[in-house]
Chain A
Amino acid sequence: MSIMKTTEKQPILGIHNLNVWYGDRQILRSLSFGVEQRRVTAFIGPANSGKSTLVRCLNRLNDFTPNFTFTGEVFFKGNSLYATKDADTVRKQIGMVFRKPTLFRGSIHENVAYGAQISGVTQSAALNASVERNLLRTGLWDLVKDILDDTPEQLPTGQQQLLCVARALAVEPEVLIFDEPCGELDPIETVKIETLVRELTDDCTVIFATNKRRQAARVSDVAGFLYGGELIEFGATEKIFTNPEDNRTEQYVTGRLG
Chain B
Amino acid sequence: MNSLMTHPNPRQKFVLQGIALVILGAVFFPVWNVLKKTHVSDVPISSVARVPDPLSNLFNDLYFFLSISFLAILLGVTCAFYLQEWLPETNWVRRLVENQVSILSGIPSLLYGLLAVLIFLPYSGVIQKIETVSSDGNVGAASLKATVFQGDTTLFYAMLLTFVILVMPRVIKTTQAALRSVPMPIRESAYALGASRSQVLMKHVVPIAFPLILAGGCRAMSCAFATAALFIGVCIWSHAPQSGQMTGGFVLFLGGSLILSILSSFLIERYSPVPTRNT
Contacts and interface: CB of A to CB of B under 8 A. Distances in A.
B194 A100 contact: no
Given A105-B207, A118-B199, A66 B89 contact: yes
A67 B88 CA distance: 10
Interface string B191-231: 11111100100011001100000000000000000000000
B189 A104 contact: yes
A170 to B, nearest CB: 8
A96 B88 CA distance: 24
B188 interface: yes
Contacts of A59: 192
B195 A98 contact: no
A45 interface: no
B193 A167 contact: yes
B185 interface: yes
A88 B185 contact: no
Interface size for chain B: under 10, 10 to 19, 20 to 34, or 35 or more residues?
20 to 34
A95 B188 contact: no
Contacts of B186: 102, 104
A88 B189 contact: no
Contact of A102 (B185, B194, B207, B208): B185
A98 B183 CA distance: 14
Interface string A77-109: 000000000001111110111101010110000
A95 B207 CA distance: 24
B90 interface: yes
B190 interface: yes
A77 B188 CA distance: 24
Contacts of A100: 185
Contacts of A95: 192-194
Nearest to A97: B192
A13 interface: no
Interface in A95-147: 95-98, 100, 102, 104-105, 114-115, 118-119
A205 to B, nearest CB: 16
Mostly, the B contact residues are helix
Contacts of A88: 194-196
A27 to B, nearest CB: 17
- Most B C-beta atoms less than 10 A away, residue of A61, A64, A93: A64
B180 to A, nearest CB: 14
B88 A168 contact: no
- Most A C-beta atoms less than 10 A away, residue of B186, B190, B192, B199: B192
A98 B194 contact: no
Given A66-B88, A105-B207, A89 B185 contact: no
A186 B175 CA distance: 39
Contacts of A61: 188, 191-192
Given A100-B185, A102-B185, A115 B191 contact: no
Interface string A158-189: 00000010011001010000000000000000
B194 A164 contact: no
A98 B191 contact: no
Contacts of A90: 194
Contacts of B207: 105
Interface in A41-70: 59, 61, 64, 66-67
A104 B190 contact: yes
A111 B207 CA distance: 15
Contact of A96 (B90, B187, B192, B195): B192
A91 B188 contact: no
A21 to B, nearest CB: 15
Nearest to A91: B194
A92 B188 CA distance: 13
Contact of B194 (A64, A67, A119): A119
Interface of A: 59, 61, 64, 66-67, 88-93, 95-98, 100, 102, 104-105, 114-115, 118-119, 164, 167-168, 171, 173
In the A-B complex, the 5 residue pairs with the smallest Cβ-Cβ separation, listed nearest first, are A92-B194, A96-B192, A102-B189, A91-B194, A102-B185
Given A66-B89, A95-B192, A104-B186, 9 more contacts: A61-B192, A92-B194, A98-B192, A102-B185, A102-B188, A102-B189, A105-B207, A105-B208, A119-B194
